[in-house]
Chain A
Amino acid sequence: MNSDINDDIANKYLTFVLATEEYAIDILRVQEIKGWSKVTQIPNTPSYICGVINLRGTIVPIVDLRLRFNLDYQEYGSMTVVVVVNVISPNSKERIMGVVVDGVSDVYDVTETEIKPPPDFGSVISTEFVDGLATVSDKMVIVLDIDKLLNSDELAIIDGLSQG
């Protein structure tokens, strides 16, 4: 067992809190962490899409993860944190999106073997967006697959005429 350690590369994960649970995402995907700023709502979109913001000239959609996971809505305010991430779509197009979370907690090293497949448990989120579970500092964190999460349902790219 111990002999395997060398092959097992640790990746850094950023964890954040949502309601009572702690989630982790690959830190290499995190572009920046910013405070809440006014969003422009997009009509006729699901409630979890807060709208779009101007991030230095780029129009970036903001997704409320609480609402995405059907948790209770929490008022946005000065404490609200937006994690700006790079999302890679199945057609390998890169998109920038912001996700609203309750708060950012820490950065951990997690090796791949430490990530265990999630049990088929009654979590608030569907296991399809979960890479697995890991225990760090005696806490359980849920490792998210943000590509899957942010390419699902309304966020999926529709291949079509839209280009450029």
Chain B
Amino acid sequence: MVHKILICDDSVSIRQMLALTLIDAKYNVTESKDGMQALELAKQNNFDLIITDINMPLLDGLSLVGKLRVLPEYRFKPILLLTTETDPEKKKQAKAAGATGWIIKPFDPDKLLAAIRKVLR
């Protein structure tokens, strides 16, 4: 089964980087450029994993996680946050919002895939 992953980042280059890596690893990838778009897409599709940036226009990543977690189909789904912060406080916030885990930017492809392996099989 091919896993469907939604990625969400307002930066085109990061999004592209993610998409290329994931497509290369044979995942089915959908891209979105802000939290609102991601939320809409998430409602229309059933993604196996959502990877989202935190700092985004319209709807930030933490709020997105919050909104996803109340949707029945995303209650148990893994959601990973992309962050450049190494600050433990930020990670606590991420967990508090309901995120499964986080990926620190910049990431290299292997690190990214390893992180995904922890939540998708």
Is there direct touching of A and B in the complex, by C-beta distance under 8 Å? no
Interface residues, chain B, with chain A CB atoms under 8 Å away:
none
